[in-house]
């Protein structure tokens, strides 16, 4: 599995190979000359490394989705990742605190943890990460989300706005 991914994509179980091909093709469509897309070993999860800014990639994919929705047959969600660390509570907390500077003083936030192949309790991650962030918490409509994506021994961390994740099925309908 990629150790320095900056995109995670989800697909239906069993469609990982097709989703890898689709994601490679789509990255080529937005002029990423040498994307690296691999299965993670976890059903329904793909990791990718792009030379482009992952947030810009999501926006370009969103534009493709609205113009040519048929290009997305296997990919369900695309998630931008800013930093990847070894799955260790101290390392996660350090990077999360570093990235939390993107949350302005007047903005609210929440911590969202998606974990796969780890026994580390989500509650522990949330408590450790949120303890160092002196911003108002809003669990229902936050301005920013501190996203912790645990993928076995690696953890991807991002500070995102709620619409920074491309959810293909929701947006295809719109």
Q: What is the mean pLDDT of the chain?
A: 96
pLDDT at 174 over 70: no
Q: What is the pLDDT of residues 79-137, one digit of tens each?
A: 999 999 999 999 999 999 999 999 999 999 999 999 999 999 999 999 999 999 999 99
How long is the chain?
174
Neighbouring C-alpha atoms within 13 Å toward the C-beta of 105 = 0
Domains identified in the chain and CATH numbers: 7-82+163-173 (3.30.70), 83-160 (3.30.2130.30)
Residue 173 reports pLDDT greater than 80: no
Band (pLDDT 50/70/90 cuts) for residue 172 is confident
């Amino acid at each position: 599995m990629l150790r320095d991914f900056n995109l995670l994509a989800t697909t239906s179980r069993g469609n990982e190979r097709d989703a890898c091909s689709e994601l490679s093709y789509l990255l080529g469509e937005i002029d990423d000359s040498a994307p690296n897309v691999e299965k993670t070993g976890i059903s329904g999860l793909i990791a990718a490394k792009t030379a482009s800014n992952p947030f810009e990639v999501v926006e370009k994919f969103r534009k493709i989705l609205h113009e040519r929705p048929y290009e997305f047959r296997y990919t369900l969600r695309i998630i931008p990742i800013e930093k990847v660390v070894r799955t260790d509570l101290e390392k996660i907390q350090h990077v999360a605190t570093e990235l939390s500077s993107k949350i302005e003083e007047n903005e609210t936030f929440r911590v969202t943890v998606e974990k796969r192949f780890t026994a580390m309790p989500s509650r522990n991650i949330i408590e450790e990460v949120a303890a160092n962030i002196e911003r108002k918490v809003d669990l229902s409509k936050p301005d920013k989300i501190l996203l912790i994506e645990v993928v076995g021994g690696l953890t991807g961390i991002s500070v995102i706005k709620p619409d920074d994740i491309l959810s293909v099925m929701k947006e295809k309908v719109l």
